[in-house]
Structure 1
Amino acid sequence: MHNSSATQPGTSAPTIPVIDVGPFIRNEAGAAAVVSAIETACRDTGFFLVTGHGVSPEKTMRLYNLARAFFDLPQDWKTQQGRGTDVVGGVAFSPIADEALSATLGIKTPGDYKESLNFGVRLPGDSWPDQPEGIEQAFRDYFVEMETLAKHLRRVFCKAIGLDQDYFEASFDGHMSALRVINYPEQDEDPLPGQLRAGVHTDYGFMTILRSEASSGGLQVQTRDGQWLDAPSIDGAYVVNIGDAFMRWTNDEWVSTPHRVANPPSDKKGSSRRQSIPFFLNPSKDTVITCLEPFCAEGTPAKYEPITYGEYIALKTKQAFSK
C-alpha cells in the first residue's frame, strides 16, 4: 500500500495522502493498513486520494467525453435544458454563476465561475436532452460504479470506527446521492472581485468521491491551521472527502474540510479549462443523524441534536442558492 508522508518538508502541515484501497476491496494482506491510513486521514484533513479502486475507466471516460460534448453546445440552447423538476431521475443544468457555494458558510460572493449537469436516481430533474446521444445512460452507468466504490469505502469507515462493517447500509437504502459533471470554462476575462471557480465550502452529505484532472486553477483544501493545500492530481485516482453529515455523525472527530476551486493564474500558459466529476454520497432522507456510539462513549456528550438527513440537506441547499 502506498501512503504519502504525513507532512510536507519544512512544514508541519499535513499532506493529502494517497491510499491504495485494493487490498481492502480484495480482502488481502494489507487491508488493516488501508483502514488505519484512512482513519488517520479522516481525523487530520478529511481528504485522501484512492487508487486500486476498481472503477471502470471506460465508463468514466464515456461520461467525461459526452458531458464535455454537452458543454460545447451553444449557450442559448443549453440554458433551455434541465430547468424543470418534474422527472425523478431527470437531469438538471446549472448555468455559469447560478450557484455561490461560499454562501453556505455565510460568505457573500458573486456566483461561481462554472456550469454543471446534475443527476440522481431519486432526485428531481427535467427530461434528458436528445444530444449528445447516450448521455443519460453514461450518467446511469457511472452512478452504479460510484455506488460500488462508496459501499467499499463505507465498510472501511465502519472498520475504522469499530462498527459492524454493514452498520451504515440501512441508511443508504433509497439513498439521495447526486452525480455532477462540472465544466470550468476558460477564463478569458478577469473574474469579478471575490469570484472563484468554486467558492470555499464544505460538502453537505456523507462523502464525496471526485474524479478530477490536472489544470491551472484546481482543487485546494484548507488545513486545520488555515493553510491552503493543492490537492494532488494523479491519473486514475479519486479524491475522497468527508461531508458535513458524516462529521456530525462522528461528533466532529472526523473533519469535513473547507475547500475551493481556485482561478487559474492570469499568466497561465495553455488551456485552463477543467472538468470534474463529483459523486455526492448522501443517505436516505429519513435517516436520522445522531452521534455514533464510539464517539459518545465514556461520558462524551453529543454536540448536536438528532436530525433527519432530509431536514439537514434542505437547510444547506437553501443557503447555497440564497444570493
Structure 2
Amino acid sequence: MTSAKASEAAPGPTALPIIDVSLLDAPAPDSRARLARQLDRACQDSGFFYVTGHGIPTELIDAVFRQSRALFALPDFAPVMMRYFDAMNRLSARIMTALALALGLPSDHFRAFCEQPLSTLRLLHYPPQPAHASPGEKGCGAHTDFGGITVLLLDEHPGLQIWDHRHRRWLQADPVPGTFVVNLGDMIARWTNDRYRSTLHRVVNLSGAERYSVPFFYSGNPDHEVRCLPNCLTAGEQPRYPATTVERHLIEMYRKTYA
C-alpha cells in the first residue's frame, strides 16, 4: 500500500475529467461516440471521473446532505435514503451502459450484471483534523474499492485524495457542484485485464470543518460471471485473472484484506 503525507497532495483544481452522461440520450449519433471516447480515456488514466448530466435532482441531493447531518443528532430518515438508494441504483446502471460503450461493447452488455445488484449506501462523517495532527494522519487510509463502481456524493469540503500512479503523488479531488465522483473497483480492473484502473484513494480532512460524504457501492448481480473481456486482450496476451463470479470475487477480496 502506497502512502504519502497529506501536504504532498497536489493543490489547486482537480485533474479529473467531467463526463456528461446525458449524452447517452442525445439524438446526435456522434454524442455516444464522444462519451465513449472520453470515458475510455478517463478509465485508462486514473479510473476516476466526475459525472454531470446525471438527472439526480438538486432537491434530492440537498435533502440527502440534510438527513446525513441529522443522522448524528436525530433518528428517522429512511424515506429519503430509500429514494436516494433507488436513484443511485438507476444511475449506476446507466454508468455501466456508458462503460460498455467505452469498451467498444454493445450498450446492453452489462444488463444482466445490473439485475438484482448488490448495492451498499453509506453515510460518512469526518471530523476536522486535530490542531496538532500527527504526520500522515487520515480520515480514511489509502485503499481501492472491491466491487464494480462507486458513486460518491461530496459536500462542499475537500478531503478526497487520489493516487497519481504516473507521477507518484496524491492529487486533491475537490468538490465540483452538481457532480458525483465515480471510481472503478477491483472487479472492473479484473474484468478488463487491468486496462481500466482501480486506483488508490484516501481522505484527509484539512478543511477545518465537519465533512460529510455519501458513497454508493455498486457490485452487480452476485451470480454474474466475471471473465476477461476478449477485446481487452492484445494478440497473444492471456487473462491475468481466472474467471469468477461477483460473489466469489468479493469473498476473495475480503479474505485477502481481513484474513
Q: Which residue in 2 is equivalent to 1:223?
A: 164
Query: What is the rounded CA distance, in whole Å, between the counterparts of 1:68 and 1:233 in structure 2?
Result: 18
Which structure 1 residue ranges, 5 or more long, are not aligned? 1-13, 74-130
Query: What is the rounded CA distance, in whole Å, between the counterparts of 2:50 and 2:61 in structure 1?
Result: 17
Q: Which residue in 2 is equivalent to 1:62?
A: 63
The counterpart of 2:156, out of the listed 206, 214, 224, is 214
Q: Which residue in 2 is equivalent to 1:252?
A: 194
Question: What is the DSSP-based 3-state SS (H/G/I as helix, E as strand, rest coil) of the residue aligned with 1:171?
Answer: coil
Once the two structures are superposed, what CA deviation does each residue of 1:178-207 show, in whole Å capped at 9, x if it has no partner? 111111123345456654111000111111
Query: What is the rounded CA distance, in whole Å, between the counterparts of 1:38 and 1:298 in structure 2?
Result: 24
Which structure 2 residue ranges, 5 or more long, are not aligned? 1-13
Amino acid at match of 2:90: T
Q: Report if the CA contact (8 A) 2:65-2:155 is conserved.
A: no
Query: What is the rounded CA distance, in whole Å, between the counterparts of 2:174 and 2:138 in structure 1?
Result: 19
Percent of matched pairs sharing the same residue: 33
RMSD: 2.1
Once the two structures are superposed, what CA deviation does each residue of 1:292-321 show, in whole Å capped at 9, x if it has no partner? 121135332100111222122123334555
Task: Return 241-250 or 28-37, whichever deviates more.
Answer: 28-37
Once the two structures are superposed, what CA deviation does each residue of 1:227-252 show, in whole Å capped at 9, x if it has no partner? 21111321111111111100100000
Q: Which residue in 1 is equivalent to 2:246?
A: 309
Superposed structure 1 runs of 4+ greater than 6 Å apart:
none
Query: How do 1:149-164 and structure 2 match up within 5 A?
Result: 149-164=91-106
TM-score scaled to structure 1, two decimals?
Answer: 0.70
Q: Which has the larger radius of gyration?
A: 1
Query: What is the rounded CA distance, in whole Å, between the counterparts of 2:114 and 2:21 in structure 1?
Result: 21
Query: What is the rounded CA distance, in whole Å, between the counterparts of 1:215 and 1:206 in structure 2?
Result: 26
Say which structure is richer in helix.
2
1:272 equivalent to 2:209? Answer yes
TM-score scaled to structure 2, two decimals?
Answer: 0.86
Question: What is the DSSP-based 3-state SS (H/G/I as helix, E as strand, rest coil) of the residue aligned with 2:195?
Answer: coil
Question: What is the DSSP-based 3-state SS (H/G/I as helix, E as strand, rest coil) of the residue aligned with 2:118?
Answer: coil
1:39 equivalent to 2:40? Answer yes
The counterpart of 2:141, out of the listed 177, 199, 224, is 199
Larger RCO, structure (CA 8 Å, separation 6 or more): 2
1:140 equivalent to 2:82? Answer yes
Once the two structures are superposed, what CA deviation does each residue of 1:268-302 show, in whole Å capped at 9, x if it has no partner? 6xx42110111111022222211012113533210
